[in-house]
Chains A and B, each alone.
Chain A
Amino acid sequence: DQQVKQNSPSLSVQEGRISILNCDYTNSMFDYFLWYKKYPAEGPTFLISISSIKDKNEDGRFTVFLNKSAKHLSLHIVPSQPGDSAVYFCAASAYYGGSQGNLIFGKGTKLSVKP
């Protein structure tokens, strides 16, 4: 059973517009959420994260929103740039036993930003 779901395998956006990538989760114990970005032939790199005590975290052009009641988070990229074209993975973790647990990843969404 998938605990972290990214229901859109791909997304195409025009340069300069907003990109919105969505992620849903089922495990109410998750308390930390991360977005990773992956270019072809490279490993994933950390992009932005949010703790469950917040509903928004912003870092430059990237903002992550968390709606705990809906078990939904989204990543907004404004404005989108061609260099943002990559696969984006949503990941979640639960805190237990004195430390943060393993990351559970979604299947990823491939973002294409067209010039």
Chain B
Amino acid sequence: EAQVTQNPRYLITVTGKKLTVTCSQNMNHEYMSWYRQDPGLGLRQIYYSMNVEVTDKGDVPEGYKVSRKEKRNFPLILESPSPNQTSLYFCASSSRKGTGSYNEQFFGPGTRLTVL
């Protein structure tokens, strides 16, 4: 089954304790992205990756890191989490074609993070 998986689905942690949220897709997609969803703010992009070893900042990258060492995985790293990073996080992936046709993004189920 084609899917995007995220782990963990729920996490409660404390300020300053490094954490990683994993994301994996089995569709051989080149493009992967992380979003956060907050009440009244919708979905905002944190980081994205066009392909292996190619990453770039989205709209709200502060406090986050990513890596793309393999095509299928795109972990989100919070080196020193703070309470304002309490949010619902989504990973997404899509194929990227240079033909001008857009390829829809497939989203993971989400990770609800609480930073105390």
Closest B residue by C-beta to A36: B107
Q: B110 to A102, Cβ gap below 8 A?
A: no
Would you call A49 an interface residue if the criterion is a C-beta within 8 Å of the partner chain's C-beta atoms? yes
Would you call A43 an interface residue if the criterion is a C-beta within 8 Å of the partner chain's C-beta atoms? yes
Chain A residues bordering chain B, tally (CB within 8 A): 26
New contact pairs (4) apart from A9-B40, A32-B102, A107-B42, CB-CB < 8 Å: A43-B92, A43-B107, A107-B40, A108-B42
Q: A103 to B42, Cβ gap below 8 A?
A: no
How distant is the Cα of A80 from the Cα of B33 in the complex, in angstroms? Answer: 32
Would you call B58 an interface residue if the criterion is a C-beta within 8 Å of the partner chain's C-beta atoms? yes
* A residues adjacent to B (C-beta < 8 A): 6, 9, 32, 34, 36, 41-46, 49, 51, 89, 91, 93, 95, 98-100, 102-103, 105-108
Would you call B21 an interface residue if the criterion is a C-beta within 8 Å of the partner chain's C-beta atoms? no
Q: B102 to A93, Cβ gap below 8 A?
A: yes
How distant is the Cα of A106 from the Cα of B37 in the complex, in angstroms? Answer: 11
Residues A102 and B58 in contact in the complex (CB < 8 Å), given A34-B104, A41-B110, A46-B104 = yes
Checking B100, B103, B109 against A43 with a beta-carbon cut-off of 8 angstroms, the contacting residue is: B109
Question: How big is chain B's contact interface, by range?
Answer: 20 to 34
Within 8 A of A (CB), among B40-94: 40-45, 48, 58, 90, 92
Q: A102 to B103, Cβ gap below 8 A?
A: no
Some 21 contacts from A to B, beta carbons below 8 A apart, are A6-B42, A36-B107, A41-B109, A41-B110, A42-B109, A42-B110, A43-B4, A43-B90, A43-B92, A44-B43, A44-B107, A46-B105, A91-B43, A99-B97, A100-B102, A100-B103, A102-B45, A102-B48, A105-B35, A105-B42, A106-B42
Residues A89 and B97 in contact in the complex (CB < 8 Å), given A41-B110, A43-B90, A44-B90 = no
Q: Shortest Cβ distance from B99 into chain A, in angstroms?
A: 9
Report chain B residues within 8 Å CB of A43.
Answer: 4, 90, 92, 107-110
Q: Shortest Cβ distance from A43 into chain B, in angstroms?
A: 3
Report chain B residues within 8 Å CB of A98.
Answer: 98
How distant is the Cα of A107 from the Cα of B97 in the complex, in angstroms? Answer: 27
Checking A42, A99, A108 against B96 with a beta-carbon cut-off of 8 angstroms, the contacting residue is: A99
Q: B102 to A49, Cβ gap below 8 A?
A: yes
